[in-house]
Amino acid sequence: MRNRHALALTLAAAATLVAAPASLPAAAATTANPAAAKAHCPQLSEKLAWYGDNRDHLQQVIDERGRCGSHRGHDQQRPVAAFDWDNTVVKNDITDATIAWSLRHDKILRPASWKSTSKWMTDAADKALTKACGTKVPVGKPLPTSTDTDCADEIFEVREDGRTMSGAAAFAGKWDHRHTVPQYAWVPQLFAGHTVPELRSYAAKARGQVLAAPIGATQTVGTHEIPGYARYYEQQRDLIRTLKKAGFDVYIVSAGSEPVTEVWAGGKGGVGIDRKHTIAIRSVLDRKGRITTSNQGCGDVPVNKGEAIPYIDGKRCWINQEIYGVKGKSAWDKQDASHRIALGGGDADTDVTFVGDATGAHLVLNRNKDEVMCRAYDDADGRWVVNPMFIEPLKQKPDPYPCSTTAYNEPDGSRGPVLRDDGSVVADQADAVY
Q: Where are the alpha helices (DSSP H) in 254-312?
A: 258-265
The Cα 144–Cα 122 span in angstroms is 24
State the DSSP H helix or E strand holding residue 399, giving kind and residue range, or none if neither: none
Ordered by where they begin, the domains of the chain are: 11-92+231-416 (3.40.50.1000), 94-227 (no CATH)
pLDDT at 211: 98
Q: What is the CA radius of gyration of the chain?
A: 22
> Please, is 397 exposed, middle or buried when counting C-beta atoms within 10 Å of its C-beta (0-12, 13-18, 19+)?
middle
What 3-state DSSP class applies to 388? Answer: strand
161 DSSP 8-state letter: H
Spatial neighbors of 424 by CB under 8 A, at least 6 apart, are: none
pLDDT at 34: 52
State the DSSP H helix or E strand holding residue 146, giving kind and residue range, or none if neither: none
> Please, is 139 exposed, middle or buried when counting C-beta atoms within 10 Å of its C-beta (0-12, 13-18, 19+)?
exposed
Q: Where are the alpha helices (DSSP H) in 6-81?
A: 11-19, 34-40, 54-65
pLDDT at 68: 86
pLDDT at 77: 81
State the DSSP H helix or E strand holding residue 434, giving kind and residue range, or none if neither: none
Q: Which of 429, 366, 413, 21 is nearest to 178 (CA)?
A: 413
Q: Strand 224-227 to strand 231-232: parallel, antiparallel, or no bridges (unpaired)? A: unpaired
Q: pLDDT below 70 — which residues of the chain?
A: 1-39, 70-76
Spatial neighbors of 50 by CB under 8 A, at least 6 apart, are: 44, 58, 235, 387
What 3-state DSSP class applies to 203? Answer: helix
The Cα 45–Cα 31 span in angstroms is 19
Q: Are 349 and 409 in contact (CB under 8 A)?
A: yes
Spatial neighbors of 307 by CB under 8 A, at least 6 apart, are: 175, 176, 179, 180, 297, 301
The Cα 207–Cα 101 span in angstroms is 9
The Cα 159–Cα 185 span in angstroms is 9
Q: Strand 231-232 to strand 218-221: parallel, antiparallel, or no bridges (unpaired)? A: unpaired
Q: Are 102 and 151 in contact (CB under 8 A)?
A: no
| Neighbouring-strand partners of residue 416 | 408
Give the angle subtended at the CA of 311 by the CAs of 103 and 286, to the nearest 5°. 55
Compute the 3-state secondary structure of the chain and give helix, strand, coil in percent, each to the nearest 5: 35, 15, 50
The Cα 227–Cα 121 span in angstroms is 27
Strand ranges (E), 228-327: 231-232, 249-257, 278-281, 283-285, 291-295
The Cα 123–Cα 253 span in angstroms is 33
pLDDT at 10: 34
pLDDT at 75: 46
pLDDT tens for 30-58 read 344 555 555 578 999 999 999 999 999 99
